[in-house]
Amino acid sequence: MGIVKSIKEFIRAEIGLWPAMELRNLATMSLALPGLTLFENQEVARLRSQLGVIPAARIACIIPTFKRPERLLRAVRSILAQDCQEFVIMVIDDGGGLPDLPNDPRIFPVSLSRNCGVAGLVRNVGIRLCDSEFIAFLDDDNIWKPQHLTLAIRGLGGGADLIYTAVQRLKSDGSQLDILSKPFDRRRFSNESAWVDTNAIVLRRSKCPLFSRLPRTRKTLPGEDWELVWRISRRHRVEHVEAVTVEYLVNPASYYTPWLEP
Tell me the per-residue pLDDT of 191-217, one tens digit each, with 9 for 90 and over. Answer: 998 889 999 999 999 988 899 999 998
- Average per-residue pLDDT for the chain: 91
Task: Give the burial class of 115: count Cβ atoms within 10 A of its Cβ; 0-12 exposed, 13-18 middle, 19 or more buried.
Answer: middle
SS3 content of the chain, % helix, strand, coil (to 5): 40, 25, 40
Q: Supply the pTM of this predicted model.
A: 0.90
User: How sure is the predictor about 38, in pLDDT bands with cuts at 50, 70 and 90?
Assistant: very high
C-alpha to C-alpha distance for 108 and 91, rounded to whole angstroms: 6
Q: For residue 59, how many other CB atoms are within 10 A of its CB?
A: 23
Q: Report residue 219's pLDDT band, with 50, 70 and 90 as the boundaries.
A: confident
Encode pLDDT of 162-182 as tens digits: 999 999 999 888 889 899 999
Helix axis angle for 119-129 and 33-51, nearest 10°, is 40
**Is residue 140 a contact partner of residue 148, using CB atoms and an 8 Å limit?**
no
Number of Cα atoms under 13 Å in the Cβ half of residue 21 = 19
Could you report the per-residue pLDDT of 115-135, keeping only the tens digit for each?
999 999 999 999 999 999 999
- Distance, in Å, from the CA atom of 233 to the CA atom of 84, rounded to the nearest integer, reads 26
CB 240 within 8 A of CB 181: yes
Rg of the chain's alpha carbons, rounded to an integer? 18
Which domains occur in the chain, in start order? 2-249 (3.90.550.10)
Task: Tell me what pLDDT residue 241 has.
Answer: 97
Strand, coil or helix: 60: strand
Residue 87 has pLDDT above 50, yes or no: yes
